[in-house]
Chains A and B, each alone.
Chain A
């Protein structure tokens, strides 16, 4: 998780990526989602009765950035003085140790309860309920803000009687954990507002969606992507120069509407070209290209040894904590690009089936493998028929 300061020349910046360094710090500076930004700004103008919020939309569409900007509108610059903490609690019956990470300022706290896997319910019941039920420590926090933030009135924090609890990846919480949030959100509305962030609203339980004001963050359009990439380039590389169109096109095509990966890819291309073709360290093959490889393998060779190779690649992804649904969607997508339409339809049908089984079951690799085997069988059948 990032902890970004506004100061340009801060030493902290040394190792940071462009995406983090160029994160906008005010709604005005944000070129993507103009209309949404305006709405959020309005919402923050009457903060006393802010409802709970649910930000949802595709990965990399800018949900975190919007939440960050909203917090800043609510509390002023003091929310940026946040620190990362690793905590350990013992909860449950029989007691279990849970380790989790928080990012917090005097006014807000961010955590990702799905970090603790199947015990997320316990975390929600014990930790989040406690955070939600306690009042914010206004006076001391304000003192802090005064000391650290200098004298300008800008930095003085605003007085709000509640704190904000930001929960990431809510769609990856178990149902029990989501259920556990329900009454907490109502009972402690006085002292705490929840901001939930999810890639997919569908996976957030209906009663939770009912408790929040939904805020859809769509993926940025191609024009918006282009504008942001240009801006970042001008800020990081050369202020009077536009990036080569080829680089832009490449970054946008590879990103699939994900602003974060578009920026990462632009930066990678820049450093590669700067280092010259020879001797430049190629970026690590990311999970996407491994999915690519899996799809290729399935399409090229439908034999048991081929399946073994696919298995090795799957394991590679799983050990890097890529969620099973993301793997399966990506492999499916790559396969669809390479097979005839009629066959593709069958693949889709079975993908849905195996993906469902994977999410009901607990051993992801079995279902991923079964899917690969099924694809191979279908491809082989189509070949012998045609």
Chain B
């Protein structure tokens, strides 16, 4: 784990990873509940009840603090272990970068759970270990089924923390064994507050409101993305002599690679007009914008648009919903790995047939 003096050579996302539960931004309910489990109703010493800590399941979108919280939790749980023991004795982290076939996982967990820990009468050192199963979405259903048993066998000495992006990817029998905590996408206000704190610490000076608003919008609730963007903007705004220029909103939208409104409008136009679509579509594709992002922003335009779209097309609600359905389908296909060009062409074709069907 990172030591203080290594910070200089780390990307900001790692440098500013909170080390204590209190420093985690926004996830108030989760943090409050976790602290309740650790410290009871107050104080800074662990309660007796910590011995009955349940298995935990954290879920939520990327960059919202799940891994961070799990690590901070372990750090606080084992803050009082004697120096003959290390955190590594107590915490096993298994993530998608580890081989997680059924057999391997079972072996690893078994070996870890059986290694002895210091018997202590002190309530300040919990008498169990923690296994963090990060990125559990990537564990196959079969392996998860096998895990059920493993968790049961070792639950006297070991607590599990499962982390995933989608709750639906964890099989219900496994999920039901855990106390679940949802990590929400961060609100813009919370993102901005955190970014301002980092900017201050880095000596960037105050962030212009317009720039920080844009940063938050581009991050869409993903704090990691926001921090990455802030860092790249900071590099961008640094003059040759090392002094900082003011962060321009243009720098932010450029750095965030947002699909510019003009491109979204142009694409919307292609969808609803009757001009030759193929050349126009490939023109859009040559821009290299992520197509799923483009579709998402087009949907916004479609839903907002109240009958006076750019291309003088009247659309009723039925048509609107039909198009939204096509969009959902395209998005699903893209998520599963389909090709941008084909899906984009098909979406345009589908929009047009919806509009032509009734006219």
A→B interface (CB under 8 Å): 35, 39, 42-43, 45-46, 48-52, 56-58, 61, 92-93, 122, 124-125, 129, 161-162, 175-176, 179-184, 186-187, 189-190, 193, 200-203, 206-207, 209-219, 256-257, 325, 328-329, 332-333, 336-337, 341, 344-346, 348-349, 351-353, 355-356, 359-360
**A to B CB contacts below 8 Å, 18 in the list:** A42-B236, A43-B232, A51-B13, A175-B337, A179-B137, A182-B97, A190-B14, A200-B290, A201-B290, A202-B293, A215-B257, A216-B257, A216-B287, A218-B286, A256-B286, A348-B349, A356-B336, A359-B338
Contacts of B337 in A (CB 8 A): 175, 203, 359
| Inter-chain contact B345/A61, CB cutoff 8 Å | no
Q: How far is the CB of A383 from chain B (nearest CB, A)?
A: 20
In the complex the two chains form, is A202's CB within 8 Å of B334's CB? yes
Residues 324-359 (chain B) with a chain A CB within 8 angstroms: 330, 333-334, 336-343, 345-350, 352-353
Is B48 an interface position by the 8 A CB rule?
A: no
Q: Is the CB–CB distance between A182 and B349 below 8 Å?
A: no
Would you give the shortest CB distance from B107 to chain A, in whole angstroms? 10
Contact across chains for B352 and A345 when beta carbons are under 8 A apart: yes
- Partner of B345 from the list A210, A211, A218, A351 (CB cut-off 8 Å) is A351
Residues of B44-87 whose CB lies within 8 A of A: 61-63, 67
B residues engaging A (CB < 8 A)?
Answer: 2, 6, 8-15, 61-63, 67, 93, 95-99, 101, 103-104, 134-135, 137-138, 165, 222, 224-225, 228-229, 231-232, 235-236, 238, 254-257, 276, 278, 282, 285-293, 330, 333-334, 336-343, 345-350, 352-353
Q: In the complex, A176 Cα to B143 Cα: how many Å?
A: 14
Given contacts A179-B96, A190-B14, A210-B225, 11 further A-B contacts (CB under 8 A): A35-B254, A180-B138, A187-B97, A200-B339, A206-B62, A214-B256, A218-B287, A337-B278, A345-B350, A352-B343, A360-B336
Contact across chains for A56 and B290 when beta carbons are under 8 A apart: yes
Taking the closest CB of chain A, its distance from the CB of B60, in whole angstroms, is 11
Q: For the complex, would chain B's binding face be called helix, strand, loop or mixed by DSSP majority?
A: helix
CB-CB nearest 5 A-B residue pairs: A352-B346, A57-B288, A348-B349, A183-B95, A201-B290
Closest CB-CB distance, A63 to chain B, in whole Å?
9
- CB proximity of A122 to chain B, nearest CB, Å: 8
Chain B residue nearest in CB terms to A346? B349
Task: Provide the bound-state CA to CA distance between A219 and B338, in Å.
Answer: 21
Q: A326: shortest Cβ distance to chain B, in Å?
A: 8
- Counting chain B CB atoms within 10 Å of each CB, which of A42, A92, A348 scores highest? A348
Residues of B within 8 A of A125 (CB): 97-99
How far, in angstroms, from A355 to B137 measured CA to CA in the complex? 25
Report the minimum CB–CB distance from B76 to chain A (whole Å).
Answer: 20
User: In the complex, what residues of A have CB within 8 A of residue B256's CB?
Assistant: 214
A253–B88 Cα distance when bound, in Å, is: 60
Contacts of A203 in B (CB 8 A): 334, 337, 340
Q: Is the CB of B228 within 8 A of A348?
A: no
Residues in B with CB closer than 8 Å to A124 are: 97
Q: How far is the CA of A57 from the CA of B257 in the complex (A)?
A: 11
A179 partner residues in chain B, CB cutoff 8 A: 96, 135, 137-138
Inter-subunit contact A345/B286 (CB<8 Å): no
Q: How far is the CB of B151 from chain A (nearest CB, A)?
A: 21
What A residues does B338 contact at CB under 8 A?
Answer: 325, 352, 355-356, 359
**A216 near B288 (CB under 8 angstroms)?**
yes
The residue that A356 contacts in the complex, of B13, B290, B333, with Cβ under 8 A, is B333
Residue pair A219, B97 in contact (C-beta under 8 Å): no
Q: Are A202 and B288 in contact (CB under 8 A)?
A: no
Give chain B residues whose Cβ lies under 8 Å from the Cβ of A332: 342, 345
Collect the chain B residues with CB atoms within 8 Å of residue A189's CB.
10-11, 13-14
Which single residue of chain A is at the shortest CB-CB distance from B6? A190
A207–B97 CB distance below 8 A: no
Cα A214 to Cα B340 in complex, Å, equals 18
Instruction: For A183, give its contact among B96, B236, B330 (CB under 8 Å).
Output: B96
Q: A179-B96, A213-B228 are in contact. Are A49 and B291 (CB under 8 A)?
A: no
CB contact under 8 A between A182 and B11, given known A51-B228, A207-B165, A352-B346: no
Of the candidates B232, B238, B290, B333, the one whose C-beta lies within 8 Å of that of A352 is: B333
Give the CA-CA distance A257 to B67 in the complex, in Å.
41
Does A58 lie within 8 Å of B285, measured CB to CB?
yes
The reply to whether B228 and A212 form a contact with Cβ atoms under 8 Å apart is: yes
Find chain B residues with CB under 8 A from A219 CB.
286-288
Whole-angstrom CA separation of A56 from B345 in the bound complex? 20
* Contact status A348-B229, CB under 8 Å: no
A276 CB to nearest B CB, Å: 36
What is the distance, in angstroms, from A194's C-beta to the closest C-beta of chain B? 11
Do A190 and B290 form a contact, CB below 8 Å, given A179-B135, A202-B334, A332-B345? no
CB distance from B165 to the nearest CB of A (A): 7
Nearest chain-A residue to B17 (Cβ)? A186
- Chain B residues in 8 Å Cβ range of A48: 8-9
Q: Is the CB of B339 within 8 A of A182?
A: no
Report B-chain residues with C-beta under 8 Å of the C-beta of A57.
288
List A contacts of B12 (CB < 8 A): 49, 51
Within the assembled complex, what's the spacing in Å between the Cα atoms of A203 and B293?
Answer: 12
State A161–B2 Cα separation when bound (angstroms). Answer: 14
Asked if residues B339 and A344 are in contact (CB atoms below 8 Å), the reply is: no
A93 to B238, CA, bound (A): 50
